[in-house]
């Protein structure tokens, strides 16, 4: 089983969109066995997947995966471990932080033969939930918006003293790999075009290469509509959905390449 974590220390950048739609892509179109874990107390991934009805909703909660050991999960091809409000309390329990990381690692190891891929949605704060996910994953995808604050935050994504990707690679998880930064909710304004050019100039190695240029997802009404309905964007039944899927599909295909041997 390969594990992807969606991480960014800013909110509202599209992590939940990616988790939900990528999960649908991998399960429905690729036929893979998919586990989704929602570590964000806002539970946007949980709400969308529950609405869609495509996944089995586990009796386990995401906070239980961190608090408890030796857990088992339902035998199904597509399973959701829901986020809860209890997750927000976990950062304050510093004496349990090592326990949380170890429990999540043990759980993922125990179900590695049951699923082909695990997708972990994280909260936008640099806390124990995000650290646990990064320590236990092989791949990171980081959606961002094209504003200066988000671009400046790339340094923290890489070099934060406790949850920076480079720090984790050097000290705990040398197998962690940043698959790329994904500009999302991109608007056709001179400001955003200039920011994208600056991003490509200074961080080209961190972007996701496609056949023509770098991956980016334009702002569209189709994505929030699909999320609100809990459906794959390609099943939205609108021109906007088909257009959105046309730009999203090659990005998902690129990011799914590590799973081709599964």
Q: Which of 49-53, 120-124, 145-149, 214-218 has the lowest mean pLDDT?
A: 145-149
Alpha carbon dihedral 176, 170, 101, 25, in 10-degree steps, equals: -10
- Tell me: pLDDT of 225 over 80: yes
CB 9 within 8 A of CB 125: yes
What is the domain count for the chain? Answer: 1
CB 141 within 8 A of CB 105: no
Average pLDDT score over residue span 12-37:
93
- Tell me: pLDDT of 120 over 70: yes
Number of C-beta neighbours around residue 95 at 10 A? 6
Contacts of 34 (CB under 8 A, 6+ apart): 23, 26, 27, 55, 77, 78, 79, 115, 116, 117, 118, 119
- Tell me: pLDDT of 261 over 80: no
* Helix axes of 222-229 and 15-24: crossing angle, nearest 10 degrees: 70
Range of the domain at 71: 2-259
Average pLDDT score over residue span 123-138:
90
Give the H/E segment covering residue 79: strand 78-82
- Tell me: pLDDT of 262 over 80: no
pLDDT for position 193: 86
Quickly list H helices, 71-207.
Answer: 97-110, 128-136, 148-152, 154-159, 165-171, 190-202
For the whole model, what pTM was predicted? 0.94
- Tell me: pLDDT of 233 over 90: yes
Share of the chain above pLDDT 90, in %: 68
DSSP symbol at 257: G
- Tell me: pLDDT of 45 over 90: yes
Longest Cα–Cα distance in the chain: 53
- For residue 102, the domain's CATH number is 3.40.50.300
How far is Cα 255 from Cα 139, in angstroms, rounded to an integer? 10
pLDDT in tens, 76-89: 999 999 999 999 99
Which one has a higher pLDDT value, 217 or 162? 217
């Amino acid at each position: 089983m390969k594990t992807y974590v969606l991480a960014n220390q800013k909110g509202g950048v599209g992590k939940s969109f990616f988790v939900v739609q990528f999960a649908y892509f991998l399960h429905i179109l690729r036929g893979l066995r998919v586990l989704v874990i929602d570590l964000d107390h806002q539970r946007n991934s949980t709400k969308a997947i529950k609405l869609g009805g495509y996944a089995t909703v586990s009796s386990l909660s995401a906070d239980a995966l961190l608090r408890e050991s030796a857990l088992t999960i339902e035998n199904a091809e597509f399973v959701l471990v829901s986020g809860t409000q209890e997750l927000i309390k976990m950062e304050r329990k510093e004496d349990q932080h090592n326990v949380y990381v170890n429990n999540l690692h043990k759980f993922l190891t125990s179900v590695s033969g049951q699923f082909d891929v695990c997708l972990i949605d994280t909260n936008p704060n640099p806390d124990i939930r995000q650290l646990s996910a990064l320590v236990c994953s092989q791949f990171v995808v980081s959606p961002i918006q094209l504003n200066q604050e988000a671009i400046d935050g790339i340094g923290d994504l890489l070099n934060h003293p406790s949850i920076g990707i480079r720090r984790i690679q050097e000290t705990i998880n040398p197998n962690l790999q940043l698959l790329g930064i994904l500009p999302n909710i991109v608007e056709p304004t001179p400001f955003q075009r200039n920011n994208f050019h600056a991003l490509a100039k200074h961080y080209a190695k961190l972007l996701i290469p496609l056949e023509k240029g770098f991956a980016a997802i334009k702002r569209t009404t189709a994505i929030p509509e699909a999320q609100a309905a809990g459906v794959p964007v390609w099943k939205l039944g609108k021109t906007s959905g088909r257009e959105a899927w046309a730009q999203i599909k090659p990005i998902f295909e690129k990011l799914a390449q590590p799973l081709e041997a599964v």
